[in-house]
A and B are shown apart, each in its own frame.
Chain A
Amino acid sequence: MPADDARRVVVTGMGVVSSIGVGSADFTAGLRAGRSGAGPATAFDATGFPSDVVCEVADFTPSRWLRALDPADLGRAAQFAAAAARMAVADTDLAVLRDRRGLVSIGTTNGESQDVDALTTAEVRGRPLDPVAARRVSSRGIATSVATELGLSDVDAYVIGTACSAGNYAIGDGVDALRHGHAEYAVVGGADAISRKTFAAFHRLGLIAKDACRPFDRGRKGILTGEGAGVLLLETLASARARGARIHAEVLGYGLTCDADHPVSPSRSGIARCMRSALDDAGVKPEEVGFVSAHGTGTKLNDRTECEALRDVYGDAPPPLVGLKSMLGHAMGAASAIAAIACCLALTEGFIPPTINHRETDPACEVDCVPNRARVAELDVVQNNGFAFGGDNAVVLFGRYGR
């Protein structure tokens, strides 16, 4: 066994719940076809809002996936996370994991936001607060639900609450835990649910598009709020080889930086520093990167800043920069975890997913965003960007296994 097999981290399972597809096969088809998850909100009454378009996971039936937990006991974010975790271990003998030391690290922006909305509604209307919903307000419950669903007890189970880059944070946490022998496997990802107050907050900031999310487009108007979960099973290459696990991709490395600059606006230098840090950690040269999965929210400021930072790191001929949120909406803490799975699928299936809803690239962005149609491509390395309010940046690099 090569010595570094114990430090190389690979993806051996993936589970995804998204507005464009549930499960890897459906999600891959959605990415290839450039599906849109947008539609009128059903999770809350959108009467009186300036718009009603969101990206919900329609017709989600958690009982199809959950075996140990009763969906009625869970909030929607935990349902997503536990279902995605089930999918991620579908090929794995759980008895193997249960005998090992593990990490369950799940990112979120808003935790069980629908429970908080419902509790507040009850309070405003003078009704008693539901104790079950109240117990779910502690956000760690999302990670505990994942562990319980999979029957894992010898695990550190917690939630990373670093807003919209939280999924990438959790993946990075898993990478370090495995590289340094703190865990023998890691179940990592992100989950969030559509919520009225999130919709209200982004509307108040003027950051919501009325019809469609158009990253890097001259006429882009903002985000659509979304939801879902992405969960990955990570282990060392040595572990995956020893148990004959299917290897989807390698996690080459990651970077974390904090802008420490502004509560909601991104910083070009903070983002560029994060990309460089991730490339260094991965031991990857910029010219090896086949495309970058953008944070790409579709707001004026984010997209321009992200493109400027990309150019700072990659020079004047950067790789394609794809805005998956054009299809998925902004799934908040789940966004970068779902995008991470898209990156792995792009590596294994040989295509670059498109930026849909695209009409005319903004000259201030000036990137190849792979407009509207997926592109066939042999890829070796893919970069996944995640940025957050508060200036919390996390960038992860994935490599094709055997590249």
Chain B
Amino acid sequence: MTVITGWSAVSAHGRGRAAFLAGLGSTPADPLVPDVPATPGQGGVRLDRASLLALAALEELVADVDTGDRAGLVLGTTSGSLHTEMEHMRSSLTEKRPHHLDPKTIPSGTMNCAAAQCAMRYGVTGPNTTLAGGTGAALHALGYAARLLVADRADTVLVGAVEESTPSRTAVEHAAHGVRPLGEGGAVVRLERAGGPRPVLAEVLATHGVLGPPETCATALLRRAGLDRSDVWAVLGPVEGFPDAVTRRLPEPGLGDTGAASGAFALATALGRGEPGEHVLVLAHDADGTTAGALLRLADSTGEAQ
């Protein structure tokens, strides 16, 4: 059994847990995360927005237990900093020579930059994984992180997802899936094996992914957790068929399409607003036909999240 013992989020509602919870359900005037510190990257690199958001998301969460060789970090994404990748190509097409791109931004051109920078900043020297999984990235990442714990490759894993909002992402997303409000941000939880000293916020009863509809994924999650539909207190995600449960008790974050961060925000919402002892089902479904999900049971008493 793996458990969540902490979480944090950065969103257009503000930086940190309190701002996220206060803003839930409302739509902020500015879709961007305010006051993201423009921290210089380790090794003299100029960081992309996704990496800055990841660093900001960890700020409130990281403790001593999250550092060293037995600590891991798993970060979900759509495709890293798309803006940086496109900037590199723009430079290649428009600068005097085709390789005259800004060398300080080169590390940001690969998807693992954010996770690597977080590891460098905090000294997280265990498994460091970047997982591309669309809007379900954080839920896939949760399953992957749980496996690292079961396989005894780490004692704690910080796991979540980030997404940047940039003109490049907007142009590509609008071309791909139509014009709609886009948002950004990220959320990260601390996952560890049950039985540790830190207060438990929630148990992760099951994670699951399918190439198929949300209904299939929901059914599998319930079967794996040994639960009935009526046991589910709230659902975050696009699935019908929970008439007995009062579904969607939890507000939407109100942040627009936040891509890979959306699944992470759903986890944060469940952790921050779920009722003690209740089950929350989180699902993310993408246009490519994939669904990822997680089934959480919130702890009987809610300690102050740390």
Number of interface residues of B (CB under 8 A): 79
Residues of A contacting B290 in the complex (Cβ-Cβ under 8 angstroms):
140, 144, 157
Shortest B31–chain A CB gap in Å is 20
Shortest B222–chain A CB gap in Å is: 15
Q: Which of B73, B90, B110 has the most CB of A within 10 A?
A: B110
Instruction: Report chain B residues within 8 Å CB of A197.
Output: 85, 88-89, 92, 101, 109
Pair B103/A204 contact, Cβ less than 8 Å: yes
Q: Check B90–A120 contact: CB distance below 8 A.
A: yes
A270 at the interface (CB under 8 A from B): yes
User: Do B172 and A129 touch across chains, with their CB atoms under 8 A apart?
Assistant: yes
Which of B128, B173, B209 is most buried by chain A, counting CB atoms within 10 A of its CB? B128
Q: Is the beta-carbon distance between B111 and A200 smaller than 8 angstroms? A: no
Q: How far is A143 from B192 in the complex, measured between Cα atoms in Å?
A: 27
Say yes or no: A154 contacts B210, CB within 8 Å: yes
Contacting pair B132 A258 (CB below 8 A)? no
Nearest Cβ on chain A to B153's Cβ, whole angstroms: 6
CA gap between A109 and B112 in the complex, in Å: 8
Q: A116-B86, A119-B86, A176-B151 are in contact. Are A263 and B132 (CB under 8 A)?
A: no
Is B126 in contact with chain A by the CB < 8 A criterion? yes
User: From residue 191 to 215 of chain A, which have CB atoms closer than 8 A to chain B?
Assistant: 196-201, 203-205
Which A residues lie within 8 Å of B127 (CB)?
256-258
Known: A201-B88, A204-B103. A256 touches B126 (CB 8 A): yes
Question: Does B147 have its Cβ within 8 Å of any Cβ on chain A?
Answer: yes
Q: Is the CB of A258 within 8 A of B126?
A: yes
**Nearest CB in chain A to that of B121: its residue:** A260
Decide: A131 near B147, CB < 8 A? Known: A111-B79, A264-B43.
no
Whether B287 is near chain A, meaning CB under 8 Å from some CB there, is: yes
Cα(A48)–Cα(B97), bound, Å: 6
Collect the chain A residues with CB atoms within 8 Å of residue B247's CB.
none
- Whether the pair A158, B286 counts as a contact (CB closer than 8 A) is no
Q: Is there an interface contact between A200 and B92, defined as CB atoms closer than 8 Å? A: yes
How many angstroms between the C-alpha atoms of A392 and B129 in the bound complex? 8
B residues within 8 Å of A by Cβ? 41-43, 45, 69, 73, 77-80, 82, 85-86, 88-94, 97-101, 103, 106-107, 109-113, 115-117, 119-120, 122-134, 136-137, 140, 143-144, 147-148, 150-151, 153, 171-173, 175-177, 208-212, 216, 286-290, 292
> 13 extra interchain contacts, Cβ-Cβ under 8 A, other than A119-B86, A156-B210, A256-B129?
A134-B175, A139-B79, A153-B210, A158-B209, A161-B112, A162-B115, A173-B147, A182-B143, A196-B89, A201-B109, A204-B106, A264-B107, A392-B130
Residues on A close to B: CB < 8 A? 46-50, 108-111, 113, 116-117, 119-121, 123-124, 128-131, 134-135, 137-141, 144, 147-148, 152-163, 169, 173, 176-177, 179-180, 182, 196-201, 203-205, 256-265, 270, 273, 388-392
